[in-house]
Structure 1
Amino acid sequence: MENESSPHTDWPYYIKKTWIKWGILVFLVVAVLLFKAIVSIILLTLAGALLSIYFYGFAGLLQKRLHLPATFSLIVSVVINLGLLCAFFWFAGSRLQSQITTLSDTLPSTLQHAKVQMQQSPIGSKILDYIDHSGNEGKTSAFIRHFFSSSFGILSDLYLIVLITMFFVASPVMYKRGIVHLLPENAKDKGDELLDQLGDVLKKWIKGQIIGFFFIAVFTGLGLWALGLPLVFTLALIAGFLNFVPNFGPIIAVIPALLLALMQGPATAFLVFGMYTLVQIIQSAVTQPLIQQKMISMPPVLTVVAQVAMGALTGFWGVLLATPVVAIGMKLTQELYVKKQAYHKYPVD
């Protein structure tokens, strides 16, 4: 009987266990939040690195074509691109703004019109009834808002990206040297070579996205103009920019065009959907192999999984930058694991 502990003597032990459990829970919550913030910052840094690689790639093109000095080519590259951006907004900004305003004002009525047309068919009415009674509409809209939200707010994100780009453009060698210095002595040479290879992979990805943007925007605009749809300029730019988001981007880009086409009838909507599909098929069959013939071949399933995971974790930037993240991961895996395994299996004499 003397060995049995009383409730009074067990009480401090119970309090201690409770505090330990709550401490572990708080630690896990803080760790998850810190991990999410760190991943968001890494993605913004990657966006800044991609922009700086673009400026240096454009400078290299100028240096090759015009035989200009490297520093002067970089200055000209930045000035030309900023000038083109300012000229675009100067000449097309007001038209783009008015079309975006018209599109945002028109979409609610076109969506209602689409619901009315769906109610006229048995399948469409069943789909609408299922959405209304299941409550999936609110869940889907909330998921989409989170999926395409930004990390710290769009203005803060853009400010950080511009700031990081300026630092990378000003002195990229310093940051590269700093990363290499963090590596062990026997890995410095391999790390320096690997950073150059990653830069080449990202440069080719940027080149492919730019070519795809112009291809999609131009041919989509021509197709919409031929079909007589309004807001051609805005819809073409939306299709071009969303081409940066593979798999999901083309699906999202066709939605506003389909809603506007439904105002003119189901036949027009069918033609618009066929035109968007044809442009994507041509882009995938003709231009994409030429763009990615020297890039890492990325499995589509891996890209989709990365987009969903990173989108759920960090929002818009995760969806947008999932493809270069996958490219970087595959390149690192290939160089640091696959080639080493092949070397140990089949050593070179």
Structure 2
Amino acid sequence: MQKQKDPPTTSSSNFSFQKKVWTTAAIFAFLIIMLLLINATFNVLLLILAGSLIAVFFRALSSIIQRKTKWKEGICVAISIISTLLIVAALFWLIGAKVQVQIIELMDTLPKTIDKAKAWVNESSMGQKIYDQIFSEKSIDKAQLFLPGFFQSTFGVLGDVYVVLFIGIFFTISPQTYTKGFVQIIPLQGQQKAQQVLDTLGEQLRKWLKGKLFSMLVVFILTAIGLAIIGMPLWLVLALLAGLISFIPNFGPLLALIPAVLVALMQSPQTALLVAGLYILIQFIESNFITTVIQKKLINMPPALILIAQLFMGALTGAWGLVLATPVMLIIIVLVQELYIKNRNKDPEPSPAKE
């Protein structure tokens, strides 16, 4: 007579269930730790991105020099870094004194201009309501809570500039060291794809930065010419401010418009209207012609998507997030295209079922 087999115990299934629970808990814990780490260090990552953009500029300039002169790469890189720093220093030295005088005049002018604008606004009941709403105690309290966090920096303003500049120089001198090091931590089967993604990112960032610098130069020249024709005081510093702040899409032109209109109000309301019209015209030209030409050479970045990224990153990380929202969005789009969309399109379509 055969012995009956013992019923299977549940110990193995319990162990398997516990293992799944602990594995799931470990994955969630890892994700939470990574999110907390990214949240705590995101400003540092933005500084690294800013340094990378500077390195992209230096490398692009050195490649142009090397293409024209056929000199060694190291010599061209050194020329690109040193010449850029010397040109920036020379510009500050040549126009620094004049700009400094105009900035002092601007600081002296703004309080009087604000008082004059306040009196001008208070002449109408609608203007009075708008002024009361903007400068109400509740609005001021909200601004006092928001602005310190928005304009705070990771290491202080000079510290941030120092970190960004030297990261850019180090990345410029030996980019292969950092890219190869990053690729080496990727599993072997994915290293070729990782290198391809890095190359695509570098190419897209180089094209975007070249177009953005050209756009900033055009905005500066047009603003300087327009303000000089109108006869605006402080035209040089206002044009420089407009050119530099145009690096920030959407919000940059508005930020540049405010001091220009306040200074123009010291002349007359008509001058203020002329200045506002000039800035709007330049923004129209930049958005509809210059940016359109630049975007043809780049991947498609919807303007609404850039605006949403600026709102989120500006609220979470402050000024650095607002400034670098566009390259961050560019990086995200490239990663999605290279790692997901292209792989999805390569997947073979399922064959029809046989009857």
Give TM class, smaller chain.
0.7 to 0.9
- Corresponding residue number in structure 2 for 1:255: 258
Distance 1:340 1:34, change over 3 A: closer
State the identity as a percent. Answer: 41
The residue type equivalent to 1:86 in the other structure is A
After TM superposition, the score normalised by the length of structure 1 is 0.87
Distance 1:140 1:30, change over 3 A: farther
Distance 1:132 1:277, change over 3 A: closer
Asked if the contact 2:261–2:276 (Cα under 8 Å) also holds between the matched residues in 1, the reply is yes
Distance 1:64 1:316, change over 3 A: same
- Corresponding residue number in structure 1 for 2:271: 268
Partner Cα separation in structure 1 for residue 265 and residue 338 of structure 2? 51
What CA deviation, in whole Å up to 9, does each residue of 1:111-168 have, x standing for no partner? 1111110001221111112234452134235424432332331112112112212221
2:283 to 277, 280, 284: 280
The residue type equivalent to 1:222 in the other structure is I
Partner Cα separation in structure 2 for residue 345 and residue 218 of structure 1? 53
In the alignment, is residue 48 of structure 1 matched against residue 54 of structure 2? no
- Corresponding residue number in structure 1 for 2:62: 59
Deviation, 1:328, is 0.3
Partner Cα separation in structure 1 for residue 347 and residue 35 of structure 2? 38
Distance 1:320 1:313, change over 3 A: same
- Corresponding residue number in structure 2 for 1:100: 103
SS in 1 for 2:154: coil
Say what the alpha-carbon RMSD is for the aligned residues: 2.0
What CA deviation, in whole Å up to 9, does each residue of 1:242-296 have, x standing for no partner? 1111011110100000011111222111111110010111112222122221111
Asked if the contact 1:44–1:160 (Cα under 8 Å) also holds between the matched residues in 2, the reply is yes
In the alignment, is residue 70 of structure 1 matched against residue 59 of structure 2? no
Partner Cα separation in structure 2 for residue 236 and residue 120 of structure 1? 31
Partner Cα separation in structure 2 for residue 208 and residue 260 of structure 1? 30
- Corresponding residue number in structure 2 for 1:179: 182
What CA deviation, in whole Å up to 9, does each residue of 1:210-233 have, x standing for no partner? 101110011001111111111111
In the alignment, is residue 295 of structure 1 matched against residue 290 of structure 2? no
- Structure 2 residue runs of 5 or longer lacking an equivalent are 1-31, 351-355
The residue type equivalent to 2:326 in the other structure is T
In the alignment, is residue 125 of structure 1 matched against residue 139 of structure 2? no
The residue type equivalent to 1:161 in the other structure is V
Q: Whose radius of gyration is greater, 1 or 2?
A: 2
What CA deviation, in whole Å up to 9, does each residue of 1:39-98 have, x standing for no partner? 111111111111011000001111222332222211111121111011111111111122
Deviation, 1:302, is 1.4
SS in 2 for 1:135: helix
Partner Cα separation in structure 1 for residue 340 and residue 36 of structure 2? 31
1:193 to 190, 196, 201: 196
Partner Cα separation in structure 2 for residue 329 and residue 258 of structure 1? 37
- Corresponding residue number in structure 2 for 1:85: 88
Asked if the contact 1:148–1:311 (Cα under 8 Å) also holds between the matched residues in 2, the reply is no
In the alignment, is residue 244 of structure 1 matched against residue 247 of structure 2? yes
The residue type equivalent to 1:36 in the other structure is N
- Structure 1 residue runs of 5 or longer lacking an equivalent are 1-28
Partner Cα separation in structure 1 for residue 279 and residue 349 of structure 2? 48
Partner Cα separation in structure 1 for residue 215 and residue 280 of structure 2? 15
Partner Cα separation in structure 2 for residue 68 and residue 141 of structure 1? 54
Partner Cα separation in structure 2 for residue 32 and residue 289 of structure 1? 36
Distance 1:149 1:61, change over 3 A: same
In the alignment, is residue 321 of structure 1 matched against residue 324 of structure 2? yes
Partner Cα separation in structure 2 for residue 56 and residue 167 of structure 1? 11
Q: What is the number of equivalent residue pairs in this alignment?
A: 320
Partner Cα separation in structure 1 for residue 152 and residue 69 of structure 2? 42
What CA deviation, in whole Å up to 9, does each residue of 1:180-208 have, x standing for no partner? 00111111001011101100111011101
Partner Cα separation in structure 1 for residue 249 and residue 348 of structure 2? 36
The residue type equivalent to 1:52 in the other structure is A
Asked if the contact 2:81–2:169 (Cα under 8 Å) also holds between the matched residues in 1, the reply is no
Asked if the contact 1:151–1:317 (Cα under 8 Å) also holds between the matched residues in 2, the reply is no
Deviation, 1:304, is 1.3
After TM superposition, the score normalised by the length of structure 2 is 0.85
What CA deviation, in whole Å up to 9, does each residue of 1:320-340 have, x standing for no partner? 111000000000001111111
In the alignment, is residue 337 of structure 1 matched against residue 331 of structure 2? no
Partner Cα separation in structure 2 for residue 137 and residue 261 of structure 1? 25
Distance 1:209 1:148, change over 3 A: farther
